[in-house]
Amino acid sequence: MIIVADSGSTKTSWLLLSDAGEKLIETSTEGLNPAVFPRDVLLSRVLSNKELIDNSEKIKTLHFFGAGCGTPKPRVIIAEVLQSIFINAKVIIKEDTEVAIMATTDNDPAIVCILGTGSNCSYFDGEKIHQRIVSLGYIIMDDASGNYFGKQLLKAYYFNQMPKELAQKFSENYNLDADFIKENLYRKSNPNTYLASLGHFIIDQKSHPFCQKIIKEGLQLFIDNQILQFENARQVPINFVGSIAHFLSDEIKATLSVNGLTLGVIQRHPIKGFVEKHIILN
């Protein structure tokens, strides 16, 4: 059997396949970002999934594409965790950027962006991946991501900048008590995921002019700070993966157009595109 996993900070999607590439099981766990979570948390999150554990000794190859796997130390951590569970598997660890590129391109040049809990952007020249920006995480970067939008909503609510009817809906859907917010931001282990959970509200209310303004500002920041770092950005398609990209596809297309950029494809779940292109076809 083969496993392909695509992991962010919030969620990990797992596909268990036969050796011929036939999908057998589709499941999920909480996110497995080794740059954010300690080893014991990573281990417990995988062990919590019965379908994975029941099949762990049958796995021959495990492809893991993850946020936080861009540098050697986190890659070693997650590799050791997975190898301790899938004891008979060859474990292959790559950055989440790679599955996004493999899922959305056919070895043609493109800029490939991830908009999920966090955000990043890479240029694929047809052979190699190029990155201009080293990610410093959710506090400083991650424009147009789920956690970015969560931050903007909290600030607007507490600075009394949010329209009253929207603020009422926001408070009805989320616990906006100051102590609860500070507990999640400064005491708990995954504030980026907490902020991204608040970001769902902007998706639900995206037709509201106030939310439209925040969305456009976030996308423009992402374009300015990430996409336009590449000199040939206007000569290649701009591809996107991730849940935020999926739900804001119309807004992305419009904002790219204003900037003279061309939208390529948007995939919510790049893991499926990877399997279709690189496992089933092979």
CATH number at residue 35: 3.30.420.40
Residue 212: pLDDT over 90: yes
In this prediction, residue 71 has a pLDDT band, given cuts at 50, 70 and 90, of confident
**pLDDT score of 276:** 81
- CA 20/CA 216 separation, integer angstroms: 44
CB 69 within 8 A of CB 203: no
**pLDDT score of 281:** 46
Residue 126 lies in a domain: no
- Domain of residue 26 covers 2-99+271-280
- CA 117/CA 107 separation, integer angstroms: 27
In terms of Cβ atoms closer than 10 Å to its own Cβ (0-12, 13-18, 19+), residue 96 is buried
Residue 24 lies in a domain: yes
Which of the residue ranges 5-9, 26-30, 178-182 would you say has the lowest mean pLDDT?
5-9
Residue 280: pLDDT over 60: no
- Provide the β-strand partners of residue 30: 11
Q: What is the average pLDDT score of the chain?
A: 94
Number of helices followed by number of strands (H, E) in the chain: 12, 10
**pLDDT score of 15:** 94
Residue 164 lies in a domain: no
**pLDDT score of 256:** 99
Cβ within 8 Å of residue 144, ≥6 positions away: 115, 119, 218, 219, 221, 222, 244
Residues above pLDDT 70, as percent of the chain? 99
Residue 212 lies in a domain: no
Residue 244 lies in a domain: no
Residue 114 lies in a domain: no
- CA 67/CA 59 separation, integer angstroms: 22
**pLDDT score of 123:** 97
Start-to-end CA span in the chain (Å): 15
Helical (H) or strand (E) element with 98: helix 96-104
Residue 250 lies in a domain: no
In this prediction, residue 200 has a pLDDT band, given cuts at 50, 70 and 90, of very high
Residue 260: pLDDT over 50: yes
Residue 221: pLDDT over 90: yes
Q: Which tens digits make up the pLDDT trace of 130-166?
A: 988 888 888 999 999 999 999 999 999 999 999 999 9
| Residue 1: DSSP 8-state | -
pTM, to two decimals: 0.88
Helix 209-225 / helix 146-158 crossing angle, nearest 10 deg: 130
- CA 146/CA 246 separation, integer angstroms: 12
Which of the residue ranges 28-32, 114-118, 270-274 would you say has the lowest mean pLDDT?
270-274
- Provide the β-strand partners of residue 29: 12
Residue 10 lies in a domain: yes
Q: Looking at the 3D structure of the chain, how many domains does it have?
A: 1
